[in-house]
């Protein structure tokens, strides 16, 4: 079941990333990035990292992508103009990608029997232990960081405000 879910959401993540690159409209690209971030959250959940999956959904799929979408809509960006690309991308990019794919294929072929032996370490941190450290031992740095982020948001709003 885990392998099937991993394959489904891995393929969804790759398809969303390709759609992100191929879209001409910025809003559609931002929506494709939301699909990628949500798929990554499910992959984190399959790996047993519940806190990281929740943070991925809340921070990246939620807050950051809402901010991206708001900025794109605020700028009123239209269709993107496409160019034919640079000569350097053709000269270095495609041979580099071919070498990278050949290297990955070689690693998978030569080490195909070793993948089933991977195990989690002895010391696995669950969400309760992580939240205990975060809100007990590291409470002051956590609160200082939240105050700094609030000050940065207020500064951005003050700089973006139009003068009357």
Give per-residue pLDDT as tens, 36-58.
999 999 998 888 888 888 888 88
- CB neighbour list of residue 20: distance below 8 Å, 6 or more residues apart: 29, 32, 33, 36
- The predicted model gives 127-141 an average pLDDT of 83
Q: How far apart are CA 89 and CA 85, in angstroms?
A: 7
The whole-number pLDDT of residue 17 equals 92
- CB neighbour list of residue 120: distance below 8 Å, 6 or more residues apart: 48
- The mean of the pLDDT values for the chain is 81
With beta carbons less than 8 A apart as the criterion, state whether 12 and 39 touch: yes
> Which of the pair, 55 or 85, is modelled with greater confidence?
55
The whole-number pLDDT of residue 78 equals 59
The whole-number pLDDT of residue 12 equals 92
Q: Say yes or no to pLDDT of 11 above 80.
A: yes
> Which of the pair, 111 or 3, is modelled with greater confidence?
3
Q: Say yes or no to pLDDT of 13 above 80.
A: yes
- The predicted model gives 102-114 an average pLDDT of 80
Q: Say yes or no to pLDDT of 85 above 70.
A: no
CA angle 90, 36, 116 (to 5 degrees): 90
- The predicted model gives 135-161 an average pLDDT of 85
Q: Say yes or no to pLDDT of 28 above 80.
A: yes
């Amino acid at each position: 079941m885990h392998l099937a879910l991993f394959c489904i959401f891995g393929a969804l993540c790759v398809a969303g990333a390709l759609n992100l690159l191929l879209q001409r409209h910025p809003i559609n690209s931002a929506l494709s990035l939301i699909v990628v971030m949500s798929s990554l959250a499910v992959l984190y959940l399959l790996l047993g990292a519940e806190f990281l999956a929740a943070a991925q959904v809340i921070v990246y799929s939620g807050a950051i992508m809402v901010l991206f979408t708001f900025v794109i809509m605020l700028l009123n960006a239209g269709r993107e103009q496409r160019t034919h690309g640079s000569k350097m991308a053709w000269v270095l990019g495609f041979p580099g990608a071919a070498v990278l794919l050949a290297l990955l294929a070689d690693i998978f072929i030569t080490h195909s029997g070793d993948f089933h032996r991977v195990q989690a370490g002895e010391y696995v941190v669950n969400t309760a232990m992580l939240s205990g450290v975060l809100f007990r031992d590291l409470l002051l740095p956590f609160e200082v960081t939240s105050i700094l982020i609030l000050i940065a948001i207020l500064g951005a709003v003050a700089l973006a405000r139009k003068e009357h």
